[in-house]
Structure 1
Amino acid sequence: MSKEFESVFFIEQLKRSDPFSMASDHFHETYEIYYLLAGERNYYINNLVYALRKGDLIFINKNELHRTTTKGRANHERVLINFQECFVQSTLDAYGVSFSFMKEPVLLLRPGAYEQGQLENILQAMLKEQKEQQALQKPYLQTLLFQLLVEMGRIRETAREAIPPENNEKERKVYEIIDYLQAHYMEKLSLERLSDTFYISSTYLCRLFKQTTGFTIVEYLNYIRIKEAQTLLRNSTAKVTFIAEQTGFDSIAHFGRVFRQIAGRSPLQYRKQNG
């Protein structure tokens, strides 16, 4: 499979026997489907954490901060899919259908035994097709992905209730801080301001935030700001200097440096590629 093809569709099966936790959250401009074949994992998405067990499937929208960490026994096996909207859109259009969960930040499904079998059959067919690289590989994988999305939609419709995220006192406090960052990212935010707002010492605040998210507060704030800047670059014709100001950066140079660090290209390059 070519690098160009992998940029629009990628599937990988991975088995680990040692403890593994991602160092920090990340986001990307592709949808993600994560299916846990064996073991347990914690899945952090924005300001929530979901406890996954064998057979769980989680769908994450584009540009949502996320990471996985060890939970319980270290052994786990998963299948990961990343795909761009363009890879499946023509198939959706051909059948005249859409899936509402593709507009939501996250969807966690807990399929029954029969449903797990259906999902795993599709995933194994995808992995086999990617490995063998036969003729008409792309349309075949598009068809399999469409089948997978249909199965996910059916499971969601028959689910009795949504699976809630995990919750404890320390995580709740960090979630409150994240909510505050998301509401005030346009402003000049200092550690002292956050410490006073949440009645926590700055030292404990930094340690708690890093332990929970894998980010420093500045790193997380920059992700929020760059994510919003990307939205403005895609959906408006505003000048880059204006966007920098609107997203809380004190200079265009600082904005450009952070944007390139996170997005891997300049703001103007991003606009040109996503306009």
Structure 2
Amino acid sequence: MIDYAEKCMKSGAVFATERVSGINDNMPTPHYHEFYELYYLESGQRYHFIDNNMYHIEGGQFLLFEPYMLHHSYGDKDVPFCRLIIYFREDEIISANLKEILKGSTGAYQLSKEETQQFYQLMNMIYREKQNPQQYSNEYCQSLLNTMLIILFRNKRQKMKIEQKNQITEIISYINANYMYDLSIADIAGHFYMSPFYLCREFKKYTNTTINQYINKTRIMNAQRMLYSSDDNITNISINTGFASVSHFGRVFKEITGSTPTSWRKRRKSFE
């Protein structure tokens, strides 16, 4: 599935929204964004794998993703779904308090029936505005977005329960905590007392990606955070994210993001 809203954001938009219906439409690999995402499931059910946590949501429930948060969505066979998403950048949050609360806000949420209706109505208002922009469109969407976040956070951020962890989620937690070191499949398998073959097979079955692909995406995601939030040089960032050489770092970075680390940093800073 082509994510047209993401294409808009990558071209410099501050807001983007999209409504999609599907069946057996599962993400081939985990991915992440450089911006926030609000995901409202209008109907059906979906599983969302976020970093090392698994959530199961149904119609009327929603998720919030922070930037650079690996996630992966899929559903049971032949179960249709419809979802509405809004992408936005941190600069669209007008309150310093809301910006602070947004840190660590990734997860699935369940509000009361009345609050859910209000939240969903505001999302639809943003969606309709983006389909047919009027005068002061960005200001209008910004106002609606901030109202949505106030509704969410004044209700004590009622996060939904995380699905029970299993061995694969523990392996992912281990990778997330140790991506900056030399990680081999043999070492990870030995740490969890399993064969490399079994590890690779089960990891691919659960995440729909290989261990090496997941490690590289995790390293590049963290490299992007460092490129944006610090002035550290490319060589140090490559070392601090577990790459053996700056040339290898640059090659993997371009494979995943489509640009060099230096170009990505310049482009991201231009959004400020």
* Alignment partners' CA distance in 2, 1:112 and 1:67: 26
Shift of 1:73: 5.7
1:252-271 matches, within 5 Å, as: 252-271=246-265
Shift of 1:35: 0.6
Q: Does 1:195 align with 2:189?
A: yes
User: What is aligned with 1:272?
Assistant: 266
User: What is aligned with 2:133?
Assistant: 133
Structure 2 length-normalised TM? 0.89
Query: Alpha carbon RMSD of aligned pairs, Å?
Result: 2.2
Shift of 1:72: 6.9
Length, aligned pairs only? 263
CA deviation digits over 1:223-269, x for unaligned, max 9? 12112222322233332122222222122221101111222211111
* Alignment partners' CA distance in 2, 1:173 and 1:105: 25
Structure 1 alignment gaps of length 5 or more: none
Residue 13 to residue 104, structure 1, CA distance change in 2 (3 Å): same
Residue 266 to residue 138, structure 1, CA distance change in 2 (3 Å): same
Q: Secondary structure at the match of 1:199?
A: coil
Larger Rg: 1
Shift of 1:42: 0.6
Identity %: 31
User: What is aligned with 1:15?
Assistant: 21
* Alignment partners' CA distance in 1, 2:119 and 2:225: 33
User: What is aligned with 2:150?
Assistant: 150
Question: Among residues 156, 164, 173, which one is paired with 1:167 in the alignment?
Answer: 164
* Alignment partners' CA distance in 1, 2:170 and 2:242: 20
User: What is aligned with 1:32?
Assistant: 37
Q: Does 1:212 align with 2:206?
A: yes
1:48-67 matches, within 5 Å, as: 48-67=53-72
Residue 183 to residue 125, structure 1, CA distance change in 2 (3 Å): closer
Q: Does 1:221 align with 2:226?
A: no
User: What is aligned with 2:82?
Assistant: 77
Residue 232 to residue 124, structure 1, CA distance change in 2 (3 Å): closer
- The code of the aligned residue for 1:32 comes to E
Residue 225 to residue 138, structure 1, CA distance change in 2 (3 Å): same
- The code of the aligned residue for 1:132 comes to N
* Alignment partners' CA distance in 2, 1:235 and 1:142: 24
Structure 1 length-normalised TM? 0.88
Q: Secondary structure at the match of 1:139?
A: helix
Structure 2 contact 36–90 (Cα < 8 Å) conserved? yes
Structure 2 contact 37–87 (Cα < 8 Å) conserved? yes
Q: Secondary structure at the match of 2:98?
A: coil
CA deviation digits over 1:73-96, x for unaligned, max 9? 61111111111112x13x326xxx
Structure 2 contact 98–149 (Cα < 8 Å) conserved? no
* Alignment partners' CA distance in 2, 1:228 and 1:264: 16
User: What is aligned with 1:231?
Assistant: 225
Shift of 1:32: 0.6
